[in-house]
Structure 1
Amino acid sequence: MSVALRLAFASLLIASVTTQALAVDLPPMVDAPEIDGPISDPAGWYFRGDIGYNLKLDAGDPTYKTYDATTQTSTTSGFDKSRMDRDATFSTGVGYQFNDFLRSDVTLDYFKATHNGKTGWSQCTVANESATGYCRYDSQSVSALSTLANAYVDLGTYWGLTPYAGAGAGVSYVKWSDVSGKRGCAYADKSDCGGLDYSHSKENGEDSWRFTYALMAGASYDITDRMKLDLGYRFSQIGSGDMFSFNDHDEFNGAFGTKGKDDGFTRHEIRMGVRVTGW
């Protein structure tokens, strides 16, 4: 056998032995599983709770009616002064996260505030027209319980923050308290002020259901895997409705219907809350 053939035979033998050795030492190949879709699925239910503050609460231009028993007609006027006190707000709700960008929830919101107004007019005049006087409306509290269906678009996560924008619509149950006011009469005999003791006049508060809508914007931050801190702004509008009725004296003389009407409520609110996810 020639030298060249011997070298070729030796090379083939070494290669065969090496291949068998490697085949024995190496573990069998394992096929990696195929992943179809995102690695984590954000879909699922969540619960939320929020507290807020009305930066601005505007009742528009509320009006009231004065009743003339002689002509049995009513005249509508605006308050000389009208101001709404701002107050805290509270909200809770449950929602569903559909994907990384879309979620919705149903919320129950509550706030309470006080309307302070003042107006005066000649109402103590009796038959001989010798009496003069005034009536003054002081204050009336209002509370509103709203239920809204909301939808949000999450705009991606950047450095742990997820900005969002949303909108909602629903109804509010608005309840006005009885009017807390003082009445006065300049007639010499206070007991003869048109047959009414103005210091004890009472006007009952009204309540009603009203359409409500809201627009929201803010950002959330992941505190843990299942808890998010939410800081946002909300603009909301509650429709107009009744405030208070005529007093017993006016109704006795023929007045009917609602005496005071509000112009609805425009709210600019800042809110902070927590969302707890279930996935």
Structure 2
Amino acid sequence: MRHTLLHASALALLFAGGHAMAADDLLDAPEVTISAAETGTQRFYLRGDLGYAGWTEQGDASLRLFDAGTGTTDTVSFDEARFGKPFSGSLGVGYQFNDMFRADLTGDYFEGRFDGSGEADIPCAGEAAGTSCAAGERADYRATGIMANGYVDLATLAGFTPYLGAGLGVTQLRWSDVSLTTACVAGAAACSGAAAATQSFDGDSSWRLTYALMAGVSYDVTERLKLDIGYRYSQIADGDMFGSGDTSGRDDGLGRHEVRAGLRLALW
């Protein structure tokens, strides 16, 4: 009986010692913390995007011509107008407030070419009353914009996160190399037969209010890197294209429909 009690006591001591060692191991285990950066929220990020604006609206771009013979001025709307060079680029820095809201500040750049034609009801310079004047205009422009943007990330499924966004800012639109060609069109009177005249003007530069609406989806390439593909509509306010003496031109703003692709890199 005494041997049995000794064995039982030894087993009890070993069992108690094992539990004490296990408790010590638990107490000595390193602490595990989850930071904001590890959850993907509350972090700064850099972004870069390339855009393709396959459809650009210019509204009713117009040309004002003065008829010295009658002392009247006529406004020509360009019935046919198109824009070239549809590519754009932007760089920015942003902040992810939480899983749902983020904002960024971006700098945008694009350039293009405007081609338009129309017809005025007044005669070209040197032509008789009863004729009209056909006008064609070509101009290059460059645009640099600063936009403040806000986004709502809707949900994340298998690494994909759809979002909606809006932006407000300003764009400096600089017109240059404006070329205006005018030609007589016979009407109640015949044209003199003079060749079409071409004039060159220095373009105007102005800052325009700009707003944008966005929708798209991002994909988690890694924990810190996201691929962003989306659509953006931006509207730039109207302003002067050029002005010289009796002839001036004005655009009715630019509406750009863009497909954009870019990357967002979280800093920490």
Aligned partner letter, 1:274: L
Residue 147 of structure 1 pairs with residue 146 of structure 2? yes
- 1:12 Cα deviation after fit: 6.6
Residue of structure 2 equivalent to 1:109? 108
Give the Cα separation in 2 of the matches to 1:36 and 1:80. Answer: 62
Distance 2:227 2:132 in 1: 57
Distance 1:65 1:160, change over 3 A: same
Is 1:61 aligned with 2:60?
A: yes
In structure 2, the residue matched to 1:187 is 192
Q: Which amino acid aligns with 2:14?
A: A
How do residues 94-243 of structure 1 correspond to structure 2 at under 5 angstroms?
Answer: 94-121=93-120, 122-125=123-126, 129=128, 134-184=133-183, 186-187=191-192, 199-243=197-241
Pair 14,102 (structure 1): closer, same or farther in 2 beyond 3 Å: same
Q: Is contact 2:140-2:176 (8 Å) kept?
A: yes
For the 8 Å contact 1:141–1:176, the answer to whether it is kept is: yes
Distance 1:105 1:187, change over 3 A: same
1:22 aligned residue: 15
| C-alpha RMSD of matched pairs (Å) | 2.8
- For residues 206 and 25 of structure 1, do their structure 2 counterparts lie closer, same or farther at Cα, with a shift above 3 Å needed? same
**Offset at residue 21 of structure 1 (A):** 1.3
1:68 is displaced (CA, Å) by 2.2
User: CA–CA distance in 2 between the matches of 1:271 and 1:50?
Assistant: 6
Question: Deviation of residue 139 (structure 1)?
Answer: 1.3
TM-score computed with the length of structure 1 as normaliser: 0.79
Going from structure 1 to structure 2, the CA distance change for 1:11 and 1:235 (only over 3 Å counts) comes to: farther
In structure 2, do the counterparts of structure 1 residues 180 and 227 end up closer, same or farther at CA, with 3 Å as the change threshold? Answer: same
Distance 1:39 1:200, change over 3 A: closer
Do 1:178 and 1:244's aligned partners in 2 also have CA atoms closer than 8 Å? no
1:263 to 243, 252, 268: 252
Residues 64 and 75 of structure 2 are in contact (CA less than 8 Å); yes or no, is this contact kept in structure 1? yes
Percent of residue pairs bearing the same amino acid type: 41
Partner of 1:274: 263
Counterpart secondary structure, 1:202? strand
Q: Is the 1:132–1:187 contact (alpha carbons within 8 Å) kept by the matching residues of 2? A: no
**1:119 Cα deviation after fit:** 2.2
**What amino acid is aligned across from residue 207 of structure 2 in structure 1?**
W
Summarize deviations over 1:64-87 as a string: whole Å, max 9, x none. Answer: 212122454422231232222351
SS at match of 1:201: strand
Deviation at 1:57, TM superposition (A): 0.5
Aligned AA (2:125): C
- Rg larger in structure: 1
Counterpart CA distance in 1 for 2:222 and 2:71 is 67
Give the paired residue count: 254
Question: Does the CA contact (< 8 Å) of 1:124 and 1:187 recur in 2?
Answer: no
Instruction: State the match for 1:3 in structure 2.
Output: none
TM-score, normalising length: structure 2: 0.82
Mapped contact 2:233–2:255 kept (Cα < 8 A): yes
Query: Which consecutive unaligned segments of at least 5 residues does structure 2 have?
Result: 185-190
Q: Which amino acid aligns with 1:22?
A: F
Match of 2:202, SS?
coil
Shift of 1:113: 1.8
As a proportion of its length, which structure holds more strand? 2
